Amino acid sequence: MSTQASTTAAGTGHVQLTRGLIALFAFCCGAIVANLYYAQPITELIAPDIHMSTGTASLIVSLTQIGYALGLFFLVPLGDLLENRKLMIATALVSIASLAAATFVHHAGGFLAISLLIGFSSVAVQILIPLAAHLAPDESRGKVVGTIMSGLLLGILLSRPISSVVAGHFGWRVVFGGAAVLMTLVTSVLALTIPRRQPDHKATYFELIGSLGQLVRTMPVLRHRSLYQALMFASFSLFWTAIPIELTRQFGLSQTAIGVFALVGAIGATSAPVAGRLADGGHTMRATLIALVVGALAYTPALIHPAWGVFGLVATGIVLDFAVQMNMVLGQREIYALHAASRNRLNALYMTSIFVGGAFGSALASPLYEHGGWTLVAAVATAFPLIALVHYLVIGRPHAARIA
């Protein structure tokens, strides 16, 4: 696919969105977003080394996601005001420094603060995706966003097995040191290859932030899609934060084996480009219903996993990932079509709600597991997509039908 798309930056003319550039966008998105998930499968290795109790270890993941949500809300809207490439590089440099600092810290409070900063500084990915949406023509925007999102989602899913294997062989500190090196390479690539884009929007930063409330009030599609994906991502984060504990304590799996488990879950990322094509073809409503129903049913094998063993948990991981990624891409395709000049702010609101949901789900993992084991975790995780499905059937789908 080779298309022509104009930027608003003076002197840049037309930028050709080639397959190579799309692939580069996808790789950079995956490499950056992986920073949020390296700690997820290795919290039980990190916690004792920094003098943290196992009951509060899931705070490491939650604070990373909270930091990401804060960055989405306060930094990503600047993509509608400042030159995009410079903004991405500046945030990436902070990410490199925070990952490097995580390699050497030895105290729980310091590590939690750094985790918050790692999340806050990893938002360059959410400036990159709207930039790709700007460059893509209307008729193939869903396909382009879906392809790039598949890179992002692979980064989410592959970060966990990579982290598990590296930590199991070399220690958890090497995971963060390696991530700092990777981010250095990615930042160099961004500086040399990503096209410039200077938005036309004229406003102060505070006016820009103030406009977020108006976007939420006036765009019900944004509200609905944000709610669905926040609930889906809460379930997703709860599952992937609790599953290493279950696999370690109940099945005696090593970090390498847990890494293989997480690698199998990466199969779910195949739904991203499929969702983009369905959205471009006008099938968003039907595809959303499928994603929410599948998400609600995903935990069935996990709830009966004593009979199925690890295979039931694997099935849930694949099915849940597939549903969550499909619903995310469908939502992004819809909100990017609402108002072109506000895409960074719309994306910021959408993704902030998602990672608030994710942080909530992650924070529940340790206490739920300690109080009720895997059965309680799976039951609560099932409730999130069920709530989204009921809301969609009662409120969301009728509203979308009226608009259509």
Among the listed residues 396, 270, 392, 282, the one whose alpha carbon sits nearest the alpha carbon of residue 337: 282
Q: How far, in Å, CA of 226 to CA of 229, rounded?
A: 5
Do residues 336 and 346 make contact, with C-beta atoms less than 8 angstroms apart? yes
Residues of the chain whose pLDDT is less than 70?
1-16, 201, 266, 268-273, 276, 302, 304-307, 398-404
Asked if 344 contacts 127 with a C-beta cutoff of 8 angstroms, the reply is yes
Give the CATH number, domain containing residue 31: 1.20.1250.20
pLDDT at 403: 45
Residue-level pLDDT at 241: 87
Query: Cβ neighbours of residue 53 under 8 Å, at least 6 residues apart?
Result: 47
Q: Is residue 11 part of a domain?
A: no
Cβ atoms of 370 and 250 closer than 8 Å: no
Q: Specify if 354 maps to a domain.
A: yes
Q: How many CB atoms lie within 10 A of CB 202?
A: 7
Residue 5 lies in a domain: no
Q: Are 126 and 76 in contact (CB under 8 A)?
A: yes
Closest CA to 372 of 363, 384, 361, 364: 364
- Say which residues have a Cβ less than 8 Å from residue 123's Cβ, sequence separation at least 6: 68, 71, 72, 75, 76, 91
Closest to 384 (Cα-Cα) out of 296, 324, 268: 296
Domain membership flag for residue 10? no
Give the domain range for residue 354. 17-403
Q: Does residue 258 sit within a domain?
A: yes
- For residue 102, the Cα-to-chain-centroid distance in whole angstroms is 21
pTM of the model: 0.76
Q: Is 229 exposed, middle or buried (0-12, 13-18, 19+ CB in 10 A)?
A: buried
- State residue 226's pLDDT score: 95
How far apart (Å, rounded) are the C-alpha atoms in residues 115 and 52?
14
Q: Which of 18, 236, 252, 26 is nearest to 129 (CA)?
A: 26
Which residues does 66 contact at the CB level (< 8 Å), separation at least 6?
Answer: 116, 119, 355, 356, 359
SS3 labels along the chain: CCEEEECCCCCCCEEEECHHHHHHHHHHHHHHHHHHCCCHHHHHHHHHHCCCCHHHCCHHHHHHHHHHHHHHHHCHHHHHCCCHHHHHHHHHHHHHHHHHHHCCCCCHHHHHHHHHHHHHCCCCHHHHHHHHHHHCCHHHHHHHHHHHHHHHHHHHHHHHHHHHHHHHHHCHHHHHHHHHHHHHHHHHHHHHHCCCCCCCCCCCHHHHHHHHHHHHHHCHHHHHHHHHHHHHHHHHHHHHHHHHHHHHHCCCCCHHHHHHHHHHHHHHHHHHHHHHHHHHCCCHHHHHHHHHHHHHHCCHHHHCHHHHCHHHHHHHHHHHHHHHHHHHHHHHHHHHCCCHHHHHHHHHHHHHHHHHHHHHHHHHHHHHHHHHHHHHHHHHHHHHHHHHHHHHHHHHHHHHHHHC
- Which single residue is written with the structure tokens 């899931």? 58
**Is residue 138 situated within a structural domain?**
yes
Beta-carbon-side half-sphere exposure of residue 182 (alpha carbons within 13 Å): 21
Number of domains in the chain: 1
CA distance 55 to 316: 24
Quote the pLDDT of residue 36. Answer: 92
CA distances from 76 to 66, 264, 341 (A): 15, 32, 14
Specify if 37 maps to a domain.
Answer: yes
CA separation for the pair 340, 343 (Å, rounded): 5
